Amino acid sequence: MSSRNIHTLQRSPRKPLTEKHIEVINKLEVMLEEGIPKQTMSELASKLKISLRTLYEISPSKNHLIRMTVNRILMRLGKEALEEVSNINSPIEALKKYLRHVNQAVGPKFKVYLESLGNDEESMKMIDFHERYITSFAKDLLDEAILKKEISKIDTQAFAMLLGGIGRDFAKDENIKKLSRSPEESANSITEIILNGISRENKNG
């Protein structure tokens, strides 16, 4: 399967979600913007105006519920990025636009979502899942760029790993304090420098 379709894949829930369940998850996304890490499942059910039983039908625990909701948000971000670049013929230009869009995940808009996740193992696995997909898509575009002679031959896996992980690395607490700009802005700036640096057009210009 082409990595152009990777963001259309979703981990299956325990049971198919009903329209009511999806409506609840949509409301939960809005609540996440204010942060909900200290609230219990019972308190969440009360705020969502549903029974606790309905909430447990959606998810077995609060951590799982938050993780599922954030995963849904990140999946949507990825799909939007793919749609934005679907009609761009240049692999390098497509990669620039794609990465700029997915780098929003380390921007201020998404910070509260990721903070709600915490640092448990399952949450980290979920974030790794998205990073691997971004890296895979970046590698595909870099390979295509070589075939179209937009860039010289490089180790596309190494560059893809670098490009796919820059934002997450910048977003670490110990690194944010060292940056003069936000992780999103810094990631976009470095990405632009890297891609311009390997572009044959810039070397020939």
Query: What residue segments make up the domains of the chain, in order of their start?
Result: 13-60, 67-204
Q: Above 80 in pLDDT, residue 39?
A: yes
- Give the pLDDT band of residue 205 (cuts 50, 70, 90): very low
Q: Above 60 in pLDDT, residue 14?
A: no
**What's the pLDDT tens digit per position in 106-165?**
887 777 777 777 778 888 899 999 999 999 999 999 999 999 999 999 999 999 999 999
- Give the pLDDT band of residue 34 (cuts 50, 70, 90): confident
Q: Comparing 186 with 16, which gets the higher pLDDT?
A: 186
Q: Are 60 and 46 in contact (CB under 8 A)?
A: no
DSSP structure string for the chain: --GGGGGG--PPPSSPPPHHHHHHHHHHHHHHTT--TT--HHHHHHHHTS-HHHHHHH-SSHHHHHHHHHHHHHHHHHHHHHHHHTT---HHHHHHHHHHHHGGGGSHHHHHHHHHH-S-HHHHHHHHHHHHHHHHHHHHHHHHHHHTTSB----HHHHHHHHHHHHHHHTSHHHHTT-SS-HHHHHHHHHHHHHHHHBHHHHH-
d(Cα 60, Cα 63) in Å, to the nearest integer? 9
Q: Mean pLDDT across the stretch 159-188?
A: 92
Residues 67-204: name the CATH superfamily. Tetracycline Repressor, domain 2 (1.10.357.10)
